Structures are given as structure tokens and as C-alpha cells.
Structure 1
Amino acid sequence: MLRQCPIVIDPSGRNIHGEAAQLRELGPIVKVTLPGGVPGWAVAGHEALADLLADPKRVSKDAYRHWRAWIDGEVTHAWPLSIWVSVQNMITAYGSEHTRLRRPVMTAFTARRVAALRPRIEAVAGEMLDKLAGMSGEEAVDLRAGYAHEVPTRVMFELFGIPEHSWGMLHKIINGFFDTGISVVQARQNSVDLYATMTDLVAYKRAHPADDLTSAMIAARDDENGPRLSEKELTDNLILLFTAGYETSVNLISSAVDLMLRHPAQRELVAAGLATWEDVVEETLRLEPPAANGFLRFAVEDIEIGGSVIPKGEAFIVSFASVGRDPALHGADADAFDITRPTRGDHMAFGYGVHYCLGATLARLEAAVSLAALFERFPEISAAGGPGRLPRTESFISNGLRELPVRLGPSKSA
């Protein structure tokens, strides 16, 4: 029956890995029902996904050109998740349009520019740890809110030049953006708030340009030789870059800390110099990818995989949660956390192919720096929650913790 009936994707993501394992067992591609009753497919095998995403001609993220249900009006802006396909930015573009929209921001994420951010990331991490050091080491604190959230957000605010008066609203909006269980009314209001806030940001940065990513993208939009981005493309690209950069790093840092606290033997490997914090980051990305499912892609033509076919014009998700634990690649212990695993870097947590995340290097750097600073300052840090599973974000797209209670223990001198 499971092979005949679509798997209904849980919009709240209550059991991300159980659902991913079920998809993987049923084959490389599986029929699913997406939230809101929208039919689609899921690609759950590492080999199948690598082959598929390596061929950008067959796969699109442009709903306006390649999703039959969107083009025909069967799925409309009334769908609570429509914001994920209605935006027009580099991640939803296809072919030459993707290249055009991606080019203006590529220079912001070169290896050299990201490496130059290390001192600032270290300084921000130090400032947040100083605040935590002022608390009693025996009191439980939420490390997600007080550290994993604060470091990447402040770095992103500085990178984009976002004024402090916009911080609170952006936090609220982004939380709603990744909540895939919200109502139609809530989704519409969140979309309105999102565009209003980003439009205000663009107006503010036009009046107060500086050496930041927002100003650079506005300069590309306002090029004297003619606009290289439309106003909507400018706004939508900013929405993409900020939301993706924020959520990915917060989830990654939180999950890495949680895993290290629950696996003291792995922590000892780092302390003994037998593994690095970069190893921790890669194994966390494999085991707990910050995005559980990539949403959405569309078949430009009939796509045959493993004897099944995704018909032309139909939508599919890619299960990063599944491919990261695929035993065909990672072995029988693929569900185990092992920072010395030879295949720890063989994951797709930041995507694959032409849509590989531009901010991947920055996210890795933020996580490695944050982890090293945290465990150096608080060497006796321990989990404060009970033996049960920590509450997670209510989303089948975002994969992260809602809170991370810890006891810091005594602080070493900064």
C-alpha cells in the first residue's frame, strides 16, 4: 500500500528523520502529498539526487515556467507555502536567468571576503560569551537564544547593513517564514510584513549607502547603464540571502552544540587534537542538515529514476535529511554521530549543483568559530534538559532546535 499511496508530508516536521527513512526505504523517488494537499514527489537517495541536481537542464526551480499546477492556477498565492515559489530571485530562477541574478552577489561570498570576516565573527562570539559569563554557571540558560541565535544574526545584520530598528521585526518575520504549519491568514500577513520591511530597508540604504551587501546590490540595481535587477528581483534576492543565511547558521550551531554535549567521547577527540571543530561541523551537517527538505523543484522534462518517472511539469522536494543518512554511502551506522567518519563531508546540506549555497563557507566559518570559542570559555558546559528529545522547530523545511537548555559551569578568562 505504501508504494501505491502517496506519503503525506507532515507540515510540522514532528519526525523529520523517521519520515526521511520511510521515503528512503520506498525508493529513490516517492510520490508525496505536500502540505495543503498539493501532490508532488520526494527524492530521497544520495546517488539519485546527485545525478539529478548535476543536470540543471532537466531540473528547474522556476514555478512560473515549469510547474504546471502553478501555471494552470491549480496552486495559487492562497497556498500557505506560496512565498517559497512566488519569489523571483536567484534560487527560483532557471538557466541564464539564474546566472544573471546570482552574479551580483557572488563577489560578496568569495573565500577571501569570507575569511576576512573571521576577526569580526570571533569578536561577536566573544561579546556574547561575555554576557553569558555574567550568569550563574549552575543556572540553566537557553544557549540557542543567547548564543547560537545571536552570533550569526549579528554578523548577518552587519554584512547587510541592517539598521537596529529593523531587527525585531525581521526576527519575527523569519520565524514565520520557516513555520510551514501556519494558516493562510498568518502566511499572507507574514508575506506583507516581509515585503514591507525589506522595502523599507532598501529605501533606508538608498538614503544611507555604506560598505555592505545591501548597498552593493542596490548599486547593481541602479547601474547607470541600465538596471541589472528589477526592483522585485532586488527585494526577493535580499529576502533569500538574509533568511537563508540566518536560519542555516542558527540551526547548525545549535545542533552541533547539542550533539557534542550528548556525545562526550566525540568532545574528547577534539580536546585531544584527534579531530577539529571543522570535522564537528561537517558531521553535524550530514546528520542534522539545517534544512531537512529542499523546496521546491520542477521537472523540465520526464525524469526517470530507478524505474519510476517524475512527469514533466510536476514538483518535487529533495530530502537532505534522508541523503545525509543514506547507508548506501555512509554505512550501516549512518544514524550515528562520528566526527571521524570518512564520509562526514559527503552531504548535500548546502545543496548541490548550480544552486549550491553561496553562503556555505560563511556558515561553516561561523559555526566552527562559535563552537571553538564556546567550549574554550566554558569547558564544563553540560546539557540541562532531561533525557527526552528537545523541542524542535515546527517545519518540514527548517531542521533545528527551538531551545537548547545548558548549564555553562565556570567561565575561563576571555
Structure 2
Amino acid sequence: MTSHGNSVAPAPAPEVGTPGFKAHAHERYAELRALGPIHRVRMPDGTAGWLVVGYELARTALAHPLLSKDPAPFEEELRASGRHILLAGSGFGGNMLMADPPQHTRLRRLVSGAFTPGAVEALAPRVEELAHQYLDAFAPLGEADLVTAYTGPLPMAVICELLGVPAERRDDLQTWTRAAMTNPSERQRTSLLALNTYLRELLEEKRRHPQDDLLSRLIAVRDEDDGRLSDAELLGTAVILVAAGHETTVNLLGNAAVALLDHPDQARTLRLAPERLPGAVEEFLRYDAPVESSPTRFATERLTLGGAVIEPGDTVTVALTSAGRDAPVEAGTDPDRLDVLRHNARHVSFGHGIHYCIGAPLARLEAVIALRVLLGRLPDLEWARPEEGIAWLPAGITRGPVRLPVRFTPRPARTPAVDVP
């Protein structure tokens, strides 16, 4: 498979998304950007598609009216290629992430109230309480794997409390969603089936015994508002809120931790000026996007992107990780350099246009609080085994570390011992 950018002589393209590619993603994307902003590539499942790697073209593609998020019209091709996980029957369909207007507009409106600035800010005290509780569990030990002890469980706890998922099922949901997002295989389908089955049972339980949570409110919309939300849409929305609602934040925190461990001077800067954390979070999003590539889009008509002719039915994916390193930065600065004091860091890590991530305000809030607590309470945090290097997620559309072994001076817990699920 060749790669067609703006170069005169197309160069061979790698199979993007493979473990080898993902382990060195920034270097590989830089090589592709040098050839042009868009390329014809082969995906890990063997299918061919278009990959956008340039920032400006990424913004265009993410908001292009001829690039559809709805896979239903392409069901035959998706089943033939083994990618039918995208269809409604998989549990990933029937949600706003894989819908176009007017369905997308309706579904997004139904959940948007939970993610307004006011609603999100009201969650801040609980997020901070959870952050301290998780840190209390390992601070006295002097070492930990941040992924399993902090950056992984904290976002899952937040989204589960918001949705009304019992604390004892958080580990199951984290296992299922991680497999569904990062394993394009039979395990992915099995994990999605398990997630669907559990959420369907939970929705039935909440229909019988509603509580003050987001899932109960969505059920009320389904049951009281003349069917504005079908059963399939209700389940699909629950699945996407659980999966996307925490996995993005897990990797945002993990990638930010990697960046700070690799740049201790930047960590010191934020310890001295924690009020700069909101801007720093934007820089972390630009520097290493938590979602490596956008969900697939489908060309509904012939169009041209960056000089490439996209035929009807062609798939287009946007490399959000690549776009961040291609985004405009201040004159005289290096986009490949982390600068937590950078002004107005631009990125498309939460998307662009009508599909801009509805949970972005919550992810930002969690990141600011979690990093402030981590940096403030563990001032000498460092890599425990730097010689091992970083193991990145080997598959899927997300980007984040698999583990983060760290060490630090043991610190006492701030609160009495609390069991944190």
C-alpha cells in the first residue's frame, strides 16, 4: 500500500496503528507529515483508508459535512472487513459518537446537561476527595504503578458515580472498556458483549428503582417523553458514556504524568505555580493526545482533502496525536518541546465541530485536580525504573502508558484509611 501526500513521488506507507508504529508514534507521524497532510495507509485490520496527519487539514476533516460518522450505510463493507463492531448491534452503535444530524443533535442534547460548566464544577469537591483517597492508599509505600493506583481508577470512579454504577462493579467495567478500546480482536467483541449485558441489566434495575444519577435521568427521558430515546439508543449512550467517559481521561492523566516525569523542570514549575495547571492541561493535550486517532468517518460523496481525492465509501481517520505536534505555536518555539507555561496551546485532541467531546469539561477538571494533588503531595516523584522505557498501549485508537512505575519519599495518608473501590 502506498502513501499519497503532497510529495511528488509517493513513498511506502507503514501499517499505522500496529504495536511497532504506536510505540514510536511521534517519530512515525513526523515522517508522514514531512510527506504531506494526508496519506493512503493500511490499517491493522488489513483495510485501506485515508489518514489525516496535519493540523489544519484535521480541523477541516473533523467538521467536513461529506464525512459521515454513521456506519450503517456501509454495513456490507464493514462486515466483509470484520469491522462490524462499529455497527449498532455491537453496542457501540446507536450513540452520538456514531451518528449524524439530526440523530446526533437529539442524542447529544439529552446528555449535555450533565456536562455544562456549572454541573461539572459542582463535581470538583468529590473529584478532589477521590484523588486524595486514591493517593492515600499508596503514598506511605514509597513506590507505585501510577496507572493501576491512580490515573486508571480515579476517572472510572468519577464516571461511575456520575452514571450511578455500583462501586463494586468498577473493576469489571474498567477491564471491559480497556479491552474494547484497545483490542481489535475477538476479545474486543467478548468485552463489549459483557459490557452491554451488564449495562442492560443495570438499566432495567434503574428503571425499577430510579436514583439521582445520569442513567436514571436518561431512562426517564426514554419512558416519559414519547420515546425520544429508543432502547438501542439508551444502551448505546450508556456504553459510550462509560467507555469514552473515562478512557480519555485515564490516558490524559497517564500521558501528562509521563511528560512531567520526563521533564522534572516542568513539574517543578507547576508545583511552584499550581494556578497554571489549567493552561498546562491544554499543553498536555497538545503534546500527547489521549486519543491517538479519531473514530472512522465515511465519505458520502466524492471530495478532495489536501489534494487527495476521496471516493464515496472511503474511510477517513484523523491522527489527533499527529495534529497536536503540527498545531501552530508561538513564534520561535518548538512544537515538539513541552512547555507547561505555553500560552493558548492549540489542539484537536477533543475533536472539532459538532462532534467535539461532550465530556471535555469533566476531563479537564479531573486532570487539573488529579495533577495538583499528585504534584503537591509527592514533590520528589520520579521514575522507578527509567531503564525499562515506557510501554504504550499496543492497539486501538487511544494512546497512553500501560504502566508507570514511580518512586518517592513515603508520605503519610492525609485521611483515615478508606477502602476505595
Q: Once the 2 structures are TM-superposed, how far is the Cα of residue 279 of structure 1 from its aligned partner?
A: 2.5
Q: Which residue of 1 aligns with 2:167?
A: 164
What is the Cα deviation at residue 121 of structure 1? 0.4
- SS of aligned partner of 2:395: coil
Q: In the alignment, which of 129, 143, 146 is matched to residue 146 of structure 2?
A: 143
8 Å Cα contact 1:160/1:212 also seen in 2? yes
Q: Which of 57, 61, 83 is residue 52 of structure 1 equivalent to?
A: 61
Q: How many residues align?
A: 400
Shift of 1:175: 1.6
Alignment-mate amino acid for residue 117 of structure 2: A
1:90 to 96, 101, 105: 96
In structure 2, C-alpha distance between the alignment counterparts of 1:375 and 1:274, rounded to whole Å:
9
Alignment-derived partner of residue 121 in structure 1? 127
Q: Does structure 2 retain, via aligned residues, the 8 Å contact 1:289–1:321?
A: yes
Between the aligned partners of 2:202 and 2:85, the Cα distance in structure 1 is 19
Moved more, 3-12 or 119-128: 3-12
Deviates more, 1:209-218 or 1:18-27: 18-27
Q: Is the 8 A contact 1:299 1:310 kept in 2?
A: yes
The within-5 A match list for 1:301-316 is 301-316=301-316
Distance 1:164 1:334 in 2: 41
Backbone CA RMSD of aligned residues: 2.1
Residue type of the alignment partner of 1:61: K
Q: Any gaps of 5 or more consecutive residues in structure 1?
A: none
Aligned to 1:178: 181
Give the alignment's TM-score, normalised by structure 2: 0.89
After superposition, the Cα gap between the structure-2 partners of 1:332 and 1:269, relative to the gap in structure 1 and judged at 3 Å, is closer
Superposed structure 1 runs of 4+ greater than 3 Å apart: 1-7, 327-332
Deviations 1:136-186 (A, max 9, x none): x2xx31011111112111111100100234323212211211224x43x32
What secondary structure is seen at the aligned counterpart in 2 of 1:277?
A: helix
Mean alpha-carbon deviation: is it higher for 301-310 or for 315-324? 301-310
**Distance in structure 1 (CA, Å) of the matches to 2:120 and 2:296:** 28
SS at match of 2:247: helix
**Separation in 1 of the partners of 2:25 and 2:218?**
36
What code does the residue aligned with 1:83 have?
A: I
Whole-angstrom distance in 1 between the partners of 2:274 and 2:213: 38
Partner amino acid for 2:105? T
Partner Cα separation in structure 1 for residue 412 and residue 140 of structure 2? 12
Distance 2:87 2:40 in 1: 20
Structure that is richer in helix per residue: 2
User: Residues 84 and 295 of structure 1 are in contact (CA less than 8 Å); yes or no, is this contact kept in structure 2?
Assistant: no
Contact 1:281 1:367 in 2 (8 A): yes
State how 1:319-398 maps to structure 2 within 5 Å.
319-326=319-326, 333-344=334-345, 346-398=346-398
After TM superposition, the structure 1 = structure 2 runs for residues 2-401 of structure 1, keeping only pairs within 5 Å, are 2-3=3-4, 4=10, 5=12, 7-12=14-19, 13-55=22-64, 57-65=65-73, 70-71=74-75, 73-76=76-79, 79=82, 81-86=83-88, 87-135=93-141, 137=142, 140-180=143-183, 182-183=184-185, 185-223=186-224, 225-273=225-273, 276-326=276-326, 333-344=334-345, 346-401=346-401
In 2, Cα distance between equivalents of 1:123 and 1:327: 35
Which amino acid counterpart does residue 84 of structure 2 have in structure 1? S
Whether the 8 Å CA contact 1:23–1:42 is kept in 2: the answer is no
Q: Aligned partner of 1:43: which letter?
A: V
* Normalised TM-score (structure 1): 0.91
User: What CA distance in whole angstroms lies between the structure 1 residues aligned with 2:80 and 2:306?
Assistant: 34
Shift of 1:127: 1.0
1:261-298, Cα deviation, whole Å (9 max, x unpaired): 22122122223338712222111111111100012011
Q: Distance in 2 between matches of 1:25 and 1:114?
A: 40
Gaps in structure 2 of 5+ consecutive residues:
5-9, 415-421
* Aligned partners of 2:62 and 2:318 also within 8 Å: no
Contact 1:256 1:280 in 2 (8 A): no
Task: Mark the CA change 1:166 to 1:327 in structure 2 (over 3 Å): closer, same or farther.
Answer: closer
3-state SS in 1 of match to 2:26? helix
Give the distance between the partners of 1:23 and 1:208, measured in 2 at CA. 53
More deviation in 2-11 or 30-39? 2-11
Residues 37-56 of structure 1: per-residue CA shift (max 9 Å, x gap): 1121011111112123334x
Counterpart Cα distance in 1 of 2:204 and 2:63 = 38
